[in-house]
């Protein structure tokens, strides 16, 4: 029960890593807001864990404002914020990614971190405490060819994590990131282009522990970084990558 009595917003929590984080946080005692674009799937996860479902587009200022308002109305405070919602363009040469896809990737993966901070940080400052976790990627540390602008968006997220951490430390707010390696979620196919045994083998050959990451792997790291056990840890971008970045 490492998050007993805490309140946590998890974005993109209707699927994949976010759902894994929401489940683990709830199992460890947190009240969780399951935030997602996908209303039906968010409601299902929220019902399963006894949390709140909130439909929101993390790339939209009004939507993020409504999300924060709903959390404050329900709980009066937000102890933990997990910026997990993220998307990619399909793998392709960097010069062929459309401007629309570039803008979308940066709106969901990068601008969302600014929008949620703008709404939630003032409440954390008032409380003199808080933990923020950004779900970045090994892509931001060791980019793979053809995921070019997605890689860059995750590098942005890692720098944003450090910038936020150093600025918010005097207010008792810790900010960290996790860098998952390719994981068994619905997003995996988009990273691989197509899901064939050959492409899976190629990806797995770059992961020393020899398997893809799972929502449970990422949730374990997220739980640690957002709990008081990590009370002296801020500004790190922790690889959960089976050794890929060694």
Ligand X SMILES: NC(=O)c1ccc[n+]([C@@H]2O[C@H](COP(=O)([O-])OP(=O)(O)OC[C@H]3O[C@@H](n4cnc5c(N)ncnc54)[C@H](O)[C@@H]3O)[C@@H](O)[C@H]2O)c1
Active site residues: 150
Binding residues for ligand X (CB under 6 A):
11-12, 14-18, 36-38, 56-59, 84-87, 108, 135, 137, 180, 182-183, 185-188, 191
CB nearer to ligand X: give 41 or 127.
Answer: 41
Taking the complex as a whole, the smallest distance from the CB of residue 232 to ligand X amounts, in Å, to 26
How near is the Cβ of 126 to ligand X at its closest, in Å? 26
What is the rounded distance in angstroms from the CA atom of residue 38 to the CA atom of residue 54? Answer: 9
Let me know how long the chain is: 246
Q: Which residue has the tokens 């209303």?
A: 39
Q: How far is the CB of 165 from ligand X (least distance, A)?
A: 19
DSSP 8-state class, residue 37: S
Q: How many whole angstroms separate alpha carbon 213 and alpha carbon 176?
A: 19
Nearer to ligand X, 66 or 129 (CB): 66
Q: How far is the CB of 168 from ligand X (least distance, A)?
A: 21
Tell me 143's DSSP state.
P
Shortest distance, CB of residue 213 to ligand X, whole angstroms? 7
Q: Starting at the edge strand that comes first in sequence, how are the strands of the sheet with 237-240 ordered?
A: 52-55, 31-36, 7-11, 80-83, 130-135, 173-180, 237-240
Tell me the Cα Rg of the chain: 17
Is the Cβ of residue 3 or residue 133 nearer to ligand X in the bound state?
Answer: 133
- Find the helix or strand (DSSP H, E) in which 240 lies: strand 237-240
Q: Which is nearer to ligand X, 84 or 227 (CB)?
A: 84
Dihedral sign, Cα of residue 11, residue 97, residue 213, residue 15:
positive
CA-based nearest residue to 135, from 86, 90, 87, 185: 86
Give the helix, strand, coil percentages of the chain, each rounded to 5.
50, 15, 35
Q: Please tell me the distance from the alpha carbon of residue 46 to that of residue 28, in angstroms, as a whole number.
A: 15
* Closest of 25, 26, 33, 48 to residue 78, by C-alpha: 33
Distance CA 173, CA 166 (A): 9
Between 135 and 173, whose beta carbon lies closer to ligand X? 135
């Amino acid at each position: 029960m490492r998050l007993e009595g805490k309140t946590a917003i998890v974005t993109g929590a209707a699927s994949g890593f976010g759902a894994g984080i929401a489940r683990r946080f709830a199992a460890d005692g947190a009240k969780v807001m399951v935030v997602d674009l996908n209303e039906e799937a968010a409601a299902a996860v929220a019902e399963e864990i006894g949390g709140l479902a909130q439909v929101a587009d993390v790339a939209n200022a009004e939507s993020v404002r409504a999300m924060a308002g709903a959390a404050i109305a329900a709980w009066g405070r937000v102890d933990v914020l997990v910026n997990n919602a993220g998307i990619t363009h399909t793998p392709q040469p960097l010069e062929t990614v459309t401007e629309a896809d570039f803008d979308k990737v940066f709106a969901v993966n990068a601008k969302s971190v600014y929008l949620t901070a703008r709404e939630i940080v003032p409440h954390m400052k008032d409380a003199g405490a808080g933990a923020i976790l950004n779900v970045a990627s090994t892509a931001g540390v060791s980019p793979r060819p053809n995921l070019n602008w997605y890689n860059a968006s995750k590098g942005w997220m890692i720098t944003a994590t450090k910038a936020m951490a150093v600025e918010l430390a005097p207010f008792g707010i810790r900010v960290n990131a996790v860098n998952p390696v390719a994981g068994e979620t619905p997003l995996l196919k988009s990273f691989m282009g197509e899901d064939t045994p050959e492409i899976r083998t190629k990806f797995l050959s770059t992961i020393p522990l020899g398997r893809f990451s799972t929502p449970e792997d990422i949730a374990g790291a997220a739980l640690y970084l957002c709990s008081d056990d990590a009370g002296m840890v801020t500004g790190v971008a922790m690889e959960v990558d089976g050794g890929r970045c060694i």
